[in-house]
A and B are shown apart, each in its own frame.
Chain A
């Protein structure tokens, strides 16, 4: 419960920053995709089922602020959270670069998937623009990871229940 509340606060903060502060600090015209970043980090730390639930919720939160058909971001982030959570279980490297690489790869793939679904619904055109945005957003997200990863790890650890449950 405490963890869910903590992650809700993280999602709301990220949405606010994305539309205010980061709207003014763009990388060649692109904003970071903070919902993707939060989902990937959550999936890395909490596993595939939390990753999927977190991704779904974060995606829905973003979708309801958009004008496009709601649910596309939720669909994308559910899969991103699940895939990253699964992949994390099979990677054993202690490299500190791992979160950065996972965030970059998952953001790039996720934004492309989002663009593909939006394209199927007739919402998006221009492959060049999609590739460019996916690339810039993933670079931006990767650059933010070294700052956000330790902060979010502290959030999970501080909000972890005293007793350890398994389910």
Chain B
């Protein structure tokens, strides 16, 4: 009898939790990015982001210290010391390579910034999205740094994505590879416009407005940045990887390989609203 009652109460509990989940899904689905549950999401980001930053710091390769050896009296000690110094030098060298790579990345970011003359703010990527079904990164800038929803994010190689969640000191960027990402783009040579869709972290899919457009192999794709667009014009995104022949669909899918290597994203730039043009956002 007792086991029966327990099984029944467990069933009731599961039903209650399932109903609670379904209600959460419904509420959040209807309210979207600006509902009360989104505020809880921002709160969760405020709590978890500093922890992510700390954990990411631990897993980043750090040079270990080799304390100088006090006793150099005999040959054996000297041998050990020399070995330590070689190891230290190797550590130093790998750290130097790492720093050099960082420097180059920042240098290229600076070049991009100067080329486009956009007001920007630098940010560091601190973590990736939790899920296998979402392509996002967390960066260490938030509303206190002037970050707002839908703000464009670029890296040295090109467009990264846009801000979809902002807390006080951190924010989440949806990458252009996310299936929910939509970017208005144009082909570099013909200037033909289209819509670039994220495709689950693989190559991006470009739907051209005019399906008869001649697409050149490896042709660069840029943001089109027409009136009301989130992204400023002319930011490089990627190059055409392949184009399928037109089928029964009205549009002909063209596949684009992004310039940015999203698996190795360290530094990004947030594009601030242009003082002359005013709000870039919707």
Contact = CB atoms under 8 A, between A and B. Distances in A.
Interface of A: 12, 15-21, 23-24, 29-31, 33, 48-49, 52-53, 56, 59-75, 78-79, 82, 111, 114-115, 117-118, 121, 123-126, 129, 133, 137
B59 A21 contact: yes
Contacts of B52: 16, 19-20
Given A52-B10, A67-B136, 9 more contacts: A49-B9, A62-B130, A65-B129, A66-B130, A70-B37, A71-B28, A74-B17, A78-B14, A123-B180
A127 to B, nearest CB: 12
Interface stretch (B19-27, B209-217, B234-242, B250-258): B19-27
30 contacts: A20-B52, A20-B59, A23-B127, A24-B59, A48-B10, A62-B131, A64-B40, A65-B41, A65-B48, A66-B129, A67-B134, A67-B136, A68-B133, A70-B41, A71-B22, A71-B23, A71-B25, A74-B17, A74-B20, A111-B132, A114-B133, A118-B133, A121-B25, A121-B29, A123-B133, A123-B180, A124-B133, A129-B200, A133-B132, A133-B133
Contacts of B138: 19
B99 interface: no
Majority DSSP secondary structure for residues of B touching A: helix
Interface centre among A17, A74, A124 (most CB of B within 10 A): A74
A78 B21 contact: yes
Interface residues of B, number: 44
Given A69-B25, A82-B14, A56 B134 contact: no
Given A65-B130, A66-B134, A137-B132, A75 B13 contact: no
B133 A126 contact: no
Given A17-B55, A64-B41, A70 B28 contact: yes
Contacts of B37: 64, 70
A136 B26 CA distance: 30
Contact of A15 (B56, B130, B172): B130
Contacts of B59: 20-21, 24
